[in-house]
Amino acid sequence: MRELICINCPRGCRLKVDDDLNVTGNFCPRGVIYAKNELTHPVRTLTSTVKVQSTLERRLPVKSSQPLPKEKVFDAVKELDQVSVETPVHIGDVIIENVAQTGVNIVATKNIEK
């Protein structure tokens, strides 16, 4: 039996999952989905920063456009370390396409004009 704490909402339900992926302890159906995904194919949203060529800012905040497979997060971070973006850049601009061969893009989360 595995025990997890659901992170889909602030409630933080304490979930128990047996070997057949039967979930108990959830308050809502999202807990069941979370537990099954976490045990079969865990994913994480990546938030980070990249270098920016700007007179005002040194770093640009970025995030993954959708959750990445957990085992690819460190590969994605290594790619981010190699990136330097030129201004202007706008929220939603794709900074890296198909990061770590996951099919997920890394996008800007801040506007920087100069």
Neighbours of 57 (CB within 10 A): 18
Looking at residue 48, its pLDDT comes to: 97
Q: Does residue 113 lie within any of the structural domains?
A: no
Are 29 and 65 in a shared domain? no
Domain with 33 in it: 2-40
Q: Does residue 74 lie within any of the structural domains?
A: yes
Are 20 and 53 in a shared domain? no
Please state the domain count of the chain.
2
Position 80, amino acid: L
Q: Does residue 114 lie within any of the structural domains?
A: no
59-86 pLDDT, tens digit per residue, is 999 999 999 999 999 999 999 999 999 9
Are 81 and 99 in a shared domain? yes
- Which residues of the chain, if any, have pLDDT below 70? none
